[in-house]
Amino acid sequence: MNGSLNANHLLFLGQGALWTVGLSLIALIGGGAVGFLVALCRVSGVRAVRVASSAYVQLIQGTPLLVIMFLTFFGLPPLGFSVSPLAAAGASLTIYVGAYLGEIWRGAIQSVPRPQWEAAEGLALSRTQRMAKVILPQAVRIATPPTVGFMVQIVKNTSLASVVGFVELARAGQIINNSLFEPFLIYAIVAVVYFALCFPLSRLSQRLERRGARGRTTLMPA
């Protein structure tokens, strides 16, 4: 029952950490794809599309990720869809991250100065061409620091996947603690690993922001 922390425990935690990274990547890629679509829909010329995408964002931002996890993992099977913990966690994070990234990126698209749109329009570029060649390349620059910053949130939020039985870092820590009863030690290790994953991201975000602040002055005076 008891015993002390050994290499096997650490290996198990390492495995959990890998799943945390994996789940973060799934959330980033899936949420990024959804978020990109949401951002485009939010600035669409069609009112119904704007309203629908805005409703999606409002709905998800007003719902705890934990509840979305419960809904997909426990709510869907009775309706006839069986969902693995990985699928439930991945889908929930995708839905959740998509709403937030969509909002961040909408802001970035809209903060490209209005005259840039007009200059592109004046040159007879189509709406798609304006977006692809003029607006998005500039929006990407603006969006990069907050997007990297949000990745920190993604990494930490993957810990909620433990509630659907997915063994990532937090859940791995719980499992080990159940056998060792060394909560302070084990959760401290877990915390340090999370920090080691997140700290480089937030530093990167800060650096990008400083660099962006210098580059921003090159955007035109309005």
Partner 1 sequence: MLNQATGTPPDPVVTLRDVHKSFGPLKVLEGVSFEVPRGTVTAIIGRSGSGKSTALRCIDRFETIDRGEIRVCGHRVDAPGLDLRRLRQDVGIVFQSYNLFPHLTIEQNITLAPTAVKGMPRAEARALAAEVLAQVGLGDKLQAYPEQLSGGQQQRAAIARSLAMRPKVMLFDEVTSALDPELTGEVLKVIEVLAASGMTMVMVTHEMGFARGIADEVVFMHRGRVHERGPAAMLEAPTTPELRQFVGSGL
Among 27, 141, 168, 186, binds partner 1 (CB under 8 A): 141
Residue 46: CB minimum distance to partner 1, A: 17
Q: Which is nearer to partner 1, 79 or 124 (CB)?
A: 124
Residue 220 backbone zone (phi > 0: left; psi -120 to 50: alpha; other: beta): beta
Using the rule CB under 8 A, is 213 a contact of partner 1? no
What's the longest Cα–Cα distance across the chain?
Answer: 75
For the segment 90-119, give every residue that binds partner 1 (CB under 8 A): 115-116, 118-119
Residue 207: CB minimum distance to partner 1, A: 20
Q: Which is nearer to partner 1, 136 or 161 (CB)?
A: 136
The conformation of residue 76, written as its DSSP 8-state character, comes to S
Q: Which of 168, 175, 162, 176 shows the shortest CA–CA distance to 193?
A: 168
Residue type, 131: M
Spatial distance between the Cα atoms of 59 and 56, rounded to a whole number of angstroms: 5
Residue type, 62: G
Among 15, 138, 174, 177, binds partner 1 (CB under 8 A): 138
Using the rule CB under 8 A, is 178 a contact of partner 1? no
DSSP for 115-167, written as a single string: HHHHHHHHTT--HHHIIIIIIHHHHHHHHHHHHHHHHHHHHHHGGGGGGGT--
Using the rule CB under 8 A, is 200 a contact of partner 1? no
For the segment 118-137, give every residue that binds partner 1 (CB under 8 A): 118-126, 129, 133-134, 137
The conformation of residue 181, written as its DSSP 8-state character, comes to -
Residue 52: CB minimum distance to partner 1, A: 26
Structure token digits, residue 110: 């809209």
Structure token digits, residue 186: 């084990």
Q: Which is nearer to partner 1, 3 or 221 (CB)?
A: 221
Residue 125: CB minimum distance to partner 1, A: 6
Using the rule CB under 8 A, is 45 a contact of partner 1? no
Which residues of the shown chain bind partner 1 in the complex (CB under 8 A)? 115-116, 118-126, 129, 133-134, 137-138, 141, 218-222
